[in-house]
A and B are shown apart, each in its own frame.
Chain A
Amino acid sequence: MNSTPALLNRVLLTVLGLILLGTGLLLVLVAAVPSVGPWWRSWSAGAWDAASRLFDSTRFPGRPESWLWIVVAVTLLALMGLMVAWIAQQGKGRSNLVASEYDPGTIPGDVRIGGGVAEHALRQALEGRPDLAGATVTTYEVKGSPALKVRLLPRPGVAPHLLAAEVSGLLDALESVVGREIPVLIHIGAGARTRFSRAERVR
């Protein structure tokens, strides 16, 4: 529920995957198929000639180096910057506030309610339930508005829909306390093992 850019990740991974796959297959073909060798040599020699002519024509006046190298370096630096930005986008979105709003009452100022309120209230309410092995509540920021994620770890055999209905009653109560509607996602999980297995079997 964080703001990891899912589509961007997929697009960039696909592009990078295609490039790497193409390069790898080309290398394999050049090495393994004899008829590809001459074709590759003629094609790449032509490309390299064009590139080196370009480098020759863009020299600094009076020096052997081409200023195109600086362009290359700057482009690669920009690429590095983009990559760092891409990494920084992953897994963002946790926040600390459940509500933050201008109070229209007589006292001037804003009202801010921290995520700890929701967390503590729900944990208190869920504590001591025999059908729950654990519960965590985290506050996220989805597109600028706060949202709650409630993660429940029920004991084996608990009916998930009944549990969800009861917890949503608690959430209703929380909302009337906080005084504002918060989008909520309830995740009823079975622990970390589920990440690795696909078909779920239970005796």
Chain B
Amino acid sequence: MSSSVESRRATTGSRRSNGPDMRRVVYRETHSSRAVVSVAAAVLVLLLAGYGVLESGVHAVGQPAWLIEPQVAAQRIVDLPAGIPPLLLTAIGAVLAMLGLVFLLNGILPGKRARHLLGGTPGEQLPAVVVDDEVIASSLARRARLAANVTPDQVMVVVSQRQVQVNVRPTSGVPVDPDRVLEAVRDELEQMLLEPAPVPRVNVTQSGVIGA
């Protein structure tokens, strides 16, 4: 066993190239899954198809229809605006269109999760690391708080896909240097090597906090 281990280490010299499908795995982690909507859609189609099977099977063996004779149903559909209150028809149409829109948007929209891929320190090869934005925000908030020398309550960090907004409320009478905070945040971001890389912005509010 050990000999095979040695040879494998030797052949795959660069450790954790992570196989060809790691990008797919990372994609799955940074984009939300359509599994729930898919199951709902499949169940919907299953129910409709099940009813269709029942009705057409009953018809094929010459038995009376269960709910409605297919010919009658088709005839009703053909002379549609007649035979049903227009308001009800509009409502049914609107509900169907809404449902369709939900499925369509779920199929088309990118569905990015609030997560970033961590590049890791260069030279040191990391496995694929995916970080929730909230974790990044709290790490940056800690760093910004130390740079600004304020309490945790006075710093708020918002992390989005391409932007990091740091809001600092200084203690009354103690000025906060925004450049120092920005430098600290930027340094932390550079160490993280996020992908996609967000741009940090620091906002120091005019009004201070008393007695913090």
Contacts and interface: CB of A to CB of B under 8 A. Distances in A.
Interface of A: 1-2, 4, 6, 9-32, 37, 40-41, 44-45, 48, 51-52, 63-67, 69-70, 72-73, 76-77, 79-80, 83-84, 86-87, 90-91, 103-105, 111, 142-143, 145, 147, 154, 156-161, 164-165, 168, 171-172, 176, 179-181, 183-190, 193-195, 197-203
B81 interface: yes
Given A17-B105, A32-B90, A64-B62, A76 B37 contact: no
Contacts of A186: 126-130
Contacts of B22: 183, 185
B38 interface: yes
A200 B50 contact: no
A164 B135 contact: no
7 contacts: A1-B28, A25-B93, A48-B74, A72-B56, A161-B192, A183-B127, A202-B137
B33 A4 contact: yes
B128 A184 contact: yes
B89 A31 contact: yes
A8 to B, nearest CB: 8
A44 B77 contact: yes
Contacts of A73: 52-53, 56-57, 60
A18 B107 CA distance: 10
A160 B131 contact: yes
